[in-house]
Amino acid sequence: MSFEGRFLVITGASSGIGAQLARELVERGARVGLLARREERLQHLSNELPPGTSTWAAADVTDREGLHRACEQLVAEGGEPDVVIANAGFNRPETAPEFKPGRALSIYDTNLLGFLHTLDWALPRFLERGAGHVVGIASVASYFGFPHNAAYCGSKAAMRVHLQSLRMSLKRSGVAVTTICPGFVESELTQKNNFTMPFLWPTDRAARRIADAIERRAAEVVFPWQMRWLVTLGLARLVPRSLAERLLTGSG
């Protein structure tokens, strides 16, 4: 699929992967609809992009009705989308002494329910047209429960499996489904991490990789390859689960 003249809607577009992906897509000839909570950042990004290549609307993906109104605003200004990218998400690592009731639910609200609210808007119009492309930004963390990140890993795992099932269900519908599972990528999210992040990618490199996957309508992409091996083969299959858990928790 060529991006030339295509209109792509991106949630979580105010920073990190979402913002850089918008820049990358516009550079490849696309127009973008930017969705996020922070109006000032959306406006700044839209002003940074070439005139006529972007439109924006502020919404919180956890607010289903508000999100859908914002999406309709983007349609009114930019036209029907060819691709909808569910990218909005956040994490807040939590050790046992820091546990707070409700924190996990807030992460699921954004990462999973926000994703489902986005699908609820995009899928009916794609199915009616018999064409379209849904892209979900999951994570390599969806393959294994890493310490102190239960809600993030769990929400991304649900997202990844949901997309996998959806992809098979929509096989003959004309609607493509792509799952992206990045490892560590430079962003506001990872800047808060106080631990070593192996194989950390710069945001622009990750955006190029994601754009390539969307362009070829890939089914599922996991990067970098070292993290793909670690979580899909190393930890998941070759290393006994008890040993993997001891290694990850530093318990010998």
pLDDT, position 235: 57
Q: Is the pTM of this model over 0.85?
A: yes
pLDDT, position 1: 76
- pLDDT per residue over 215-251, tens digit each? 999 999 999 867 777 776 655 556 555 655 555 445 5
pLDDT, position 132: 98
C-alpha 248, offset from chain centre: 25
pLDDT, position 193: 55
pLDDT, position 191: 56
CA distance 127 to 211: 23
Q: Residue 83 in 3-state DSSP? A: strand
| Domains of the chain (ranges, CATH numbers) | 7-249 (3.40.50.720)
pLDDT, position 252: 45
Residues (pLDDT < 70) of the chain are 187-199, 225, 232-252
Taking Cα atoms as reference points, which of 230, 213, 190 lies closest to residue 89? Answer: 190
Q: Is 246 left (phi over 0), alpha (psi -120 to 50) or beta?
A: alpha
Phi, psi of 174 (to 5 degrees): 90, -5
Positions of E strands within the chain = 7-11, 31-36, 54-58, 83-86, 132-137, 175-182, 220-223
Query: Can 152 be counted among the known catalytic residues?
Result: yes
Question: Catalytic one among 126, 143, 152, 184?
Answer: 152
Q: Please check whether residue 107 is in contact with residue 152, taking contact to mean a CB–CB distance below 8 angstroms.
A: yes
